[in-house]
Each structure stands twice: as C-alpha cells, then as structure tokens.
Amino acid sequence: MIKRIGVMTGGGDCPGLNAVLRAVVRTAILKYGWEVYGFKDGYRGLVMNEYVKLKSNDVSGILDKGGTILGSSNRDNPFNFRIERDGKVEYKDMSERVIDNINMHKIDCMVLIGGDGTLTSARDFARMGLNVVGVPKTIDNDLSGTDLTFGFMTAVETATDAIDKLHSTAESHHRVMILEVMGRYAGWIALQSGIAGGADAILIPEIPYDIKKVVEMIQRRRREGKHFSIIVAAEGAKAVDGDVVVSKVVHDSPDPIRLGGVGNQIAEQIEKLTGIETRVAVLGHLQRGGRPNPFDRILSTRFGVAAVEYINEGKFGIMVSLKGDEITAIPLEEAVGKLKTVPPEGELVKIAKSLGVSFGD
C-alpha cells in the first residue's frame, strides 16, 4: 500500500515543470491521501537529503509559473557525483546513498521529472530495485519514447513570436536576419517555429547545409523583389563540410558540450559571399523561461496525474508518455538512450519545401 511518494525535477528548467508538480501533489494528497516529499535541485537533493514536505497549499498558484519551485540541476549525476574535499575534486558513485535517503523517509515511489539524462539515471535506479516513475521533460522534444514532451510547444511559440518580430525589422532595413534557436542535436524547435513564422530557410542538424544553397535562396528572393530573408538555425545545425559549433565545454557537467555560435558563423559567410548586411538574434534561454502556454499546462497536468495513477496501480520502472491523443506508459529501458530527431524525408520537411523553404540541401 502506497503511503508516501517523492518527486524531483532534474536537468534544465522548462515551462510546465510546476504544472507537473502541482498535478502530482494534488492528486496524491487530495485523491489518495498520500504524503509527498519534494527533493530540491534535482539529484543533488536526493544525494544531500535536502527536501521539503509538500502540502496542497504549496502548489497553489503555480500552474502558470515558469521554472520549478523545487529547483533543478543539470550537473549532478548521482552515479558520478562531484565532491570537493580539501580543495580537490573527485567523482563518486552516490547512488546507494540516494536509495538510503529514500528508504529513510519510507518513500514508496519516486516521480523523477526530466530529460534523457535524468531519466537514464531513473532507469539505472529502477535496475537497482527502486520504485520509480519518469515524466518526460525537454523543450527539445528529442525523447523517442513520447510523441511530445511538455515545454516544447511553449518554446516553439516563443521562437515563432521572435520570427514575427524579426520580419518587420528585416523588411525595413533590407537585411538578412538569422534567428538561432535551441534544440541541441534535434531540429524540432527550428523546424516548427520556422514553418509557423514563415522563415525562408530552416537549418537543422538532420540536414547538413551548403552555404551556397542558402545564398542562392537569398539572391533569388532579391531578384523577385524581396530584399530581406529570414533564416532559422538550430544551434546544432552544421555545414556539409563542417561540424557543430561549440560555444564552450563545461568539464564538470555530465553533458559537457555547449552548442552555440552557428548563427554568427552563417552570418559571416553570407556577408562575405553577398555583401548583404546580415544580423543575428540568439534566442537562448528565453525559450526555456516564462509561463507555459495552455497546451503545455494541460499536457503537464495529464502527465502528473498519470504518474500518480500508475503508482497507485503498482506500475513502476516506467515513463509516462503521449502517444497520439492518449497518455500511456513505456518501460524506462525503452524510453532513454535514443534521440528522436527530425526525419529528413518526414511530412513537415516536405511541407516546408513545398512552400519554397530552403534547408540548404
């Protein structure tokens, strides 16, 4: 019989995290009478035993708020945890301590909310015998086990709004405007916002671009009397003869590579080849911040309620998932380790090309 559950938000922040927390806490308390413990700052809170006992009132008024009331971290891997002693840094497997802390509080199941890294650790804890249920979160929409992750549609909306604003300034000054968006190694944000915003070129990791093809598009538009162009570039976009652009390496992070800078690289090449003034806007963390849109609030709520219902049914070692219009669940073993990327021959790419959008190929 379930009496007490725990919940944690890991990885990068994302619109909708608070909505999931609200759904988990309210369903657990109001429907089943369980106690809920929230662990702070991702897996760090589980390692350091930093927590708060959540009441229904604690999640009141947070449905529309960005971020997470529990805090998060994308640097703390419990299986390779950074410890500093006497000025020296070492890494240690702290997974047993996590389990000890959970057992100390007599927690019957943990709800672990996060992306591929967080859920990979969730899978590893499930292998150790811990009762866990995962909830998929990432604005990148690159988890293969679910049709959509919450936070993605809000990020697309933010990027689309930016494209709309860039149109007017690009047209006024006869410039090429490049919007660099997030997504890491998947081009979902760039593709969907590019289509929604009427971009003239969309450059994504899945379709390496030839800068000469992009220039041909710009010059063709100018011949047609259109003296501006809008390009949306995913941060992981790369040229056919190049590689991704790395802004920096964070050595103490489980995922040390930080992408960024491809927009500036493309702008320099366009100006060199055409002489046309080209400006870059890097949307950055604006895509991850702010209030979730209605779609993500509803999806987050559905995920949170489903997680509690699966716990009540005694189903563990799973990740809740959206398949079509239905909320379902798949084993964590199947949910992680494989990125969901844009199919180069998929429907959305074909639609964009039918509208004359260039992918630089």
Q: Of 13, 108, 140, 142, which one is the catalytic site residue?
A: 140
Count the residues in the chain: 361
Phi (first) and psi of residue 246, to 5 degrees: -105, 125
How many C-beta atoms surround the C-beta of residue 323 within 10 A?
13
* Spatial CA neighbour of 66 closest among 290, 296, 284: 290
* Spatial CA neighbour of 136 closest among 120, 116, 156: 116
In angstroms, what CA-CA distances link 195 with 160, 188, 232, 247? 9, 11, 10, 27
In angstroms, what CA-CA distances link 201 with 188, 198, 231, 235, 357? 14, 9, 5, 14, 5
CA 336 from chain centre, in angstroms, equals: 14
Q: Is 140 a catalytic residue?
A: yes
Place of tokens 């398949």: 323
Residue 173, classed as helix, strand or coil, is helix
Exposure on the CB side of residue 249, measured as CA atoms within 13 A: 1
Contact yes or no for 211/219 (Cβ under 8 A): no
First CA to last CA across the chain, in angstroms?
A: 57
| Spatial separation of the C-alpha atoms in residues 239 and 247, rounded to whole Å | 16
| Spatial separation of the C-alpha atoms in residues 227 and 223, rounded to whole Å | 8
Catalytic residues: 140
